Chains A and B, each alone.
Chain A
């Protein structure tokens, strides 16, 4: 089976600092990889590299299929009700409202549909960003600290969503400084690379 995401010998330089070099990884359908390590180890940079938002100083990045990204910014219009803010991304991703309905149910956000995004808590905003990822239907998930600010119940829903995505043949690259509690997970310790 071919890889959905493949990084070959990539190096990343931020500012004047070499974060990592000669890093290779590959994700096949159903696979997930946990990027662990302390703050500043280059987890987020690797996610952005994989997403194509940063250029690798060396090496190649190949993606087969669309990507869905979570990073520290929620990219939801603060003044909009949650549902309408998510519907904007559904239109951008050309998926229908049912996909958003299902994703909102999966992250238990349906009761907050009419609440403006500005009124949501950090954890609720992370769940909303997760709804966008689930609804997008993209095979490659790039999740940068998705569990930050989430309570235990929300983390359990996140873990379930990731498991469902892998069962459907998706791949997940997850950066987190703490264990989220996903079973059957490969690890890459970014702290050990430096």
Chain B
């Protein structure tokens, strides 16, 4: 347990060190600021399209730091050292997912409010967005760690990483954005189920990928 806590704090410290805490916040606000310039300041249009834009930005914000999640640990020999201590790769992956969910999830939830305001979302829609993204954060973190583990052995892997998990992230986008539709009442349950599934797959798939890095 001490071991896992040590790993967790190290990951969190590395994620938030050197001002990286604000990276998803800035990225999020960047998208929210750029979008009205691109489509024009038409409030009804912004309200309709803005919610989906928030979801796309959330997915990209999760994938933003994937080159920092696994590759430096592998290059520095940290993963080898942990493996020598008999710590299962699945456990390391699970700790990384929890740390990443908190490291990017918390700032993302805070950034959601100014971003939603810039995209002309009203209070009711902000609430739906906040609930949906909170449900999706574990899955987004899981996908980020998975793609980081899969691409850690490749040169320039972070560019491929986004493409790799896109098919898996599509259900999150569909159900998450579907929650904003007044007729999409079951969307939240489907989003929850999808998020649970992806969160569960993450540690095992990422763990297997990390084991493969050693061969």
Interface of A toward B, CB cutoff 8 Å: 51-55, 66-69, 71-79, 88-89, 91-94, 142
Task: Say whether B14 contacts A89, CB under 8 Å.
Answer: no
How far is it, in angstroms, between the C-alpha of A79 and the C-alpha of B76 when the chains are bound?
A: 12
| Minimum-distance CB pairs A-B, first 4 | A73-B77, A91-B6, A75-B77, A75-B81
How far is it, in angstroms, between the C-alpha of A47 and the C-alpha of B5 when the chains are bound?
A: 29
Chain B hits for A142, CB < 8 A: 84
Task: Say whether A54 contacts B214, CB under 8 Å.
Answer: yes
- Chain A CB within 8 A of B80 CB: yes
Interface of A is mostly: loop
How far is it, in angstroms, between the C-alpha of A135 and the C-alpha of B195 when the chains are bound?
A: 42
Most buried by A among B7, B14, B84: B84
Q: How far is the CB of B21 from chain A (nearest CB, A)?
A: 15
Task: Say whether B84 contacts A67, CB under 8 Å.
Answer: yes
Interface size class of B (residues with CB under 8 A): 20 to 34
Interface of B toward A, CB cutoff 8 Å: 2-3, 5-7, 10, 14, 17-18, 75-78, 80-86, 214-215
Interface contacts beyond A89-B81, A91-B6: sample of 9 additional A-B pairs, CB < 8 Å, sorted by A:
A71-B77, A73-B76, A76-B76, A77-B76, A78-B76, A79-B18, A91-B2, A91-B3, A92-B82
Q: How far is the CB of B199 from chain A (nearest CB, A)?
A: 25
Task: Say whether A74 contacts B76, CB under 8 Å.
Answer: yes
Task: Say whether A71 contacts B80, CB under 8 Å.
Answer: yes
Chain B hits for A72, CB < 8 A: 77
Chain A hits for B81, CB < 8 A: 69, 75, 89
Task: Say whether A75 contacts B80, CB under 8 Å.
Answer: yes
How far is it, in angstroms, between the C-alpha of A77 and the C-alpha of B85 when the chains are bound?
A: 18
Chain B hits for A73, CB < 8 A: 75-77, 80
With contacts A53-B84, A69-B84, A92-B85 taken as known, whether A77 is within 8 angstroms of B215 at the C-beta atoms is: no
How far is it, in angstroms, between the C-alpha of A78 and the C-alpha of B17 when the chains are bound?
A: 13
Chain A hits for B80, CB < 8 A: 51, 53, 69, 71, 73, 75
Task: Say whether B76 contacts A92, CB under 8 Å.
Answer: no
Q: How far is the CB of A130 from chain B (nearest CB, A)?
A: 14
With contacts A53-B84, A77-B14 taken as known, whether A94 is within 8 angstroms of B3 at the C-beta atoms is: yes
Chain B hits for A71, CB < 8 A: 77, 80
Chain B hits for A75, CB < 8 A: 76-78, 80-81
With contacts A68-B84, A76-B76 taken as known, whether A92 is within 8 angstroms of B6 at the C-beta atoms is: yes
Chain B hits for A91, CB < 8 A: 2-3, 5-6
With contacts A54-B215, A92-B3, A94-B3 taken as known, whether A77 is within 8 angstroms of B84 at the C-beta atoms is: no
Residue of A nearest to B75 (CB): A73
How far is it, in angstroms, between the C-alpha of A88 and the C-alpha of B85 when the chains are bound?
A: 14
Select B2's contact among A55, A79, A94, beta carbons within 8 Å: A94
